[in-house]
Structure 1
């Protein structure tokens, strides 16, 4: 198994968070079981932002919460259904023309609402050399695949050398036409966005990077500089966010987030409805509240800054926009969701409501 490059010093336990003054010693005792169940990691950049008073919009995303130990019956270890579409380790092939390539199962930080929280963290590491070869062979053997999406974990925790190798291998597959990278690294560990890493993404395939951020306060000066390095190198950037209770569940917070992205040359792309991951109900809003927020944003907020509000249908049936074209009330407090193939699925809200 190839070793991961050493990341900057990161707080990797509840005890370390307490020692750094991010939580109280009393709180640490209560949160110890959370840290034993789910991975913890807060980078120096995020810790500095928290010490500087970034507020709940950042803290709630990264500091453990006792409510994470409460799992509702509807919550699933694999909430978006990756496993049924994984023909070989590291590959999720849900749509004919594109797939996910998950080279690594670790991240620079661990979000408390992560939909893959049962599958990522220390000890998961990355694909072995043999598994990586099998994944690349799968891509080469399926000519319908036009786009490869590097995700994980976070692919930008890989070294520039390893990224260059993977990029060259994908460049050499003639039917692959685009490479997308899903990452939090430019925001949470901006020191990793070096000239060497940017250069490693060059070659035949155009690269598009989707940066995950949920609150404007995540864009520290160092994060803004990292984003600029990518854009100035000619890499198009898109934003993806998750609608989260207590983080960005208001018109002012979402407006600030999306305008900040546009000002940094990041096009807001998706606003995801929270997935049914274990221990995350306190983050989720009912769909009706999310729809109301999107209606309130349309008009006052420039269309350039508006993402598409999306729901990933539990069970692996794909994602759809949260609109009347795809969702209809079932008359019993739930919803019927139509997937991209026209099939209908029952969906019930399990998030907390303001009402």
Structure 2
């Protein structure tokens, strides 16, 4: 069916304008629900004054100055992992602190001072808080240690390979913050450890001996926990392998410790194009002025930025929140790339949503906002069988010559399924 009955015969300019105005009014009505609520979904930019006050409070706790705060090594050294200190910063009840201590005895946690300004600007149980602070529900350890079977897809030390032409080098277990929904929490342990150089060399030899590998992802933990010197060496070694076309880096420091994105690091990355960085913003509150400045530094160094959000219950499993997040990311020049369905990792079951919630979010993104703001919704198939896209159903029927399409507005359209030359017979 057509969107509007078209007038028969010649259409005047006035009639065209009236049709256009009716359509524009209809489109505006489509997003009235979002327009009513979008300003109530705060971003990190909205929290600047609150974060600054919390920053001063945290610096006072550590006897630190501004130069300390801007030093990523200071941030790393002073990660908050003391429940009593967090309790003082958040004015928590003793029972709440006791719950954090119980979880901490089983699962490691740590929050960078920078991200703590976001956490302490939130409320207990809020979208930022839930990603950073241990929750007593983590002690329900139903699920799997390694749902993606990475230990069975490692043909060489440090390597994970699930696809024909690309693979992962896992370089460290260290992160700026240990997110509560982490898919690799089994690797965190109690001590930060980078992989030995000998492991890197074996991984590089495997890549050299497999010329179909054109794309290498360096991840962890967080790949940017490596020193500038080590990153420079590793990227340089990959540059020397002729069949490696692109390097990717997986990191969340842009979100959790943007101080790591130094001019020195950017100078290293600029030497080794093309470099793609995928990060993980999960909520608009994480899009702060500091994160935006870090992105700007990377972009000036020629790095291409993408975002891989994780769909998390009571964090971002809302179409309006996800839309606001993706629109804010485009403003700081980060392309929304994936929304991952949360995996069934032990201790993280309280984050897992239904698949239908993810499909609904995709249904409320496509057509309702820029295509650039519409990532792919992905379920990682269990046992290492890779990323599987999940979409709302748009092709809802077919016959010998046509398919029936459902548009983003749920209009049904018949469309030729064969070339026009075949249909003219």
TM-score class, shorter: 0.7 to 0.9
- Are 2:288 and 1:220 equivalent residues in the alignment? yes
Alpha-carbon distance in 2 for matches of 1:51, 1:34: 19
Change (3 A) 1:20 1:197: same
Distance 1:314 1:15, change over 3 A: farther
Distance 1:156 1:81, change over 3 A: same
Identify the match of residue 136 of structure 1 among 194, 204, 218.
204
Q: Structure 1 residues 54 and 270, CA, compared in 2 at 3 Å: closer, same or farther?
A: farther
Q: CA RMSD in A?
A: 1.9
Tell me if structure 2 keeps the 8 A contact 1:274–1:284: yes
TM-aligned CA deviation for residue 121 of structure 1: 4.2
Q: Which of 126, 132, 141 is equivalent to 1:62?
A: 132
2:175 paired with 1:107: yes
Query: What is the CA distance between 1:22 and its match in structure 2?
Result: 6.8
Aligned-residue offset at 1:127: 0.9
Aligned equivalents of 1:265, 1:307: Cα separation in 2: 14
- Select 1:21's aligned residue among 84, 90, 114: 90
Determine if contact 2:362/2:392 at 8 Å carries over to the other structure: no
Q: 2: distance between equivalents of 1:252 and 1:126? A: 39
Post-superposition CA distance 1:87-118 (Å, at most 9, x none): 22211011121000111111111111111111
Kindly indicate which of the two structures has a greater share of residues assigned to helix. 2
Change beyond 3 A, Cα 1:322–1:13: farther
- Which secondary structure state, in structure 2, belongs to the residue aligned with residue 18 of structure 1? helix
Find the aligned partners of 1:20 and 1:285 in 2 and give their Cα distance.
30
Cα separation, 2, equivalents of 1:159 and 1:124: 14
Alignment of 1:34 onto 2:86: no
Give matches, 1:1-355, under 5 Å.
7-21=76-90, 23-53=92-122, 56-72=126-142, 75-123=143-191, 125-323=193-391
The gaps in structure 1 that reach 5 residues or longer are 326-355
Q: Residue in 1 aligned with 2:399?
A: none
Cα distance, 1:295 vs. partner? Answer: 0.7
Question: How big is the shift at 1:298?
Answer: 1.7
User: What is the alpha-carbon distance in structure 2 between the residues aligned to residue 80 and residue 233 of structure 1?
Assistant: 33
Structure 2, unmatched stretches of 5+, are 1-71, 394-425
Contact 1:150 1:181 in 2 (8 A): yes
Q: Distance in 2 between matches of 1:175 and 1:54?
A: 49
SS in 1 for 2:384: coil
Distance 1:22 1:241 in 2: 30
Q: Which moved more, 1:177-186 or 1:49-58?
A: 49-58
- Match of 2:14? none
Q: Deviations over 1:129-168 (max 9, x none)?
A: 2222211211111111101101110011111111111111
CA distance in 2, matches of 1:38, 1:70: 12
Q: Aligned to 2:216, what secondary structure does the other structure show?
A: strand
Query: Secondary structure of 1:201's match?
Result: helix
TM-score (normalised: structure 1)? 0.86
Distance across 2 between alignment mates of 1:105 and 1:303: 35
Q: 1:123 to 1:88 in 2, by over 3 A?
A: farther
Q: How many residues align?
A: 320
Structure 1 runs of 4+ with >6 Å offset: none
Q: CA deviation at 1:292?
A: 1.4
